[in-house]
Amino acid sequence: MSNTKYNIPNVWELCFLSVPIIVPLAVYMFEKCCSNKYRKLNSKVVLITGASSGLGETLAHEFYSHGCALILTGRSNTELERVKSDLLSRSDVKNVNKPCTLVLDLIDQATIEGVSQKVLGVFGRVDILINNAGISYRGRAEVTTAEVDYQVMLVNYFGQIALTKAILPSMIHHKSGHIVAISSVQGKIAIPFRSAYTASKHALQAFFDTLRAEIARHKVKVTVISPGYIQTNLSLNALTGNGSKYGIMDESTMDGYSAEYVAQRIVEAVVNNEQEIIIAPFYARLAIGLRYIWPRVYFWIMKCRAERQAGQKM
């Protein structure tokens, strides 16, 4: 009988030996899970407002990469066609659905109903509505004309809800749909020299919070996105108190999140059926909490901020 001794590996040795197998398998399973998760977006009809530039354009690329059928709207037909051409020329994406473009100016309320009927006539439905179009503002409240307040509210609030109300009956009829409102951190907290903008985003937040509860029984979902600063031309095109263009790229905007990152987070929120997400650094989240937990301190901080910025041209 042989006296050969066999060394039986202990638990730690077994764990070490199985790493080359477990890690690749875990990565594979994770990628497969993510792939399956995003697969449900394939051929979903997605309507994006403000799709001719900035975050809207980036969202178009993100949803298109997941096989969605896109309806792109904006004020400039030339820019919409450019975005469409860019999408169709992508060699890294296999999408059989050709994007559709429609001119839509949310300031022109009289045309929204007609455009919405054209939208529904393209694919017969809208599965996901992305209320992205918007305009920003920089100025002192006391010298800002009421016309500017009205224009910002018209684009950021009244235009969004008019389009939503026009599309919503179709979603209710199909017992399916997802409405996404691109709000802002400033829809939760107000900061100095943004009165018209923050007012419009507060209104947007309130409307869609109410709508979410009311239409849940129809199996139509609502997601509100509250991003911080994003690296787009939003501040360049912002209105000032007299209605002229601000024309300055804010430092906070330059240091903001990339549009690609925000677009990816928005798509994730849709896939995961999240009711609300805040895409902002810790200090912004802290300010949101402070506004409700310790408002006196928050108001003092905002007063100091206003005094510090008082010398800047607004």
Distance, CA of 201 to CA of 190 (rounded, Å): 10
64 is catalytic: no
Task: Please give the span between the terminal C-alpha atoms of the chain, in angstroms, as a whole number.
Answer: 95
64, 137, 157, 197: which one is catalytic? 197
Local structure of 26: helix, strand or coil: helix
Half-sphere exposure of 258 (CA within 13 A, CB side): 4
Backbone φ and ψ of 130, nearest 5° = -105, 100
Question: What is the full DSSP assignment across 42-63?
Answer: TT-EEEESSTTSHHHHHHHHHH
The DSSP bridge pattern shows strands 220-227 and 100-103 to be unpaired
Task: Determine the residue type at 79.
Answer: E
Q: Active-site residues: which are they?
A: 197
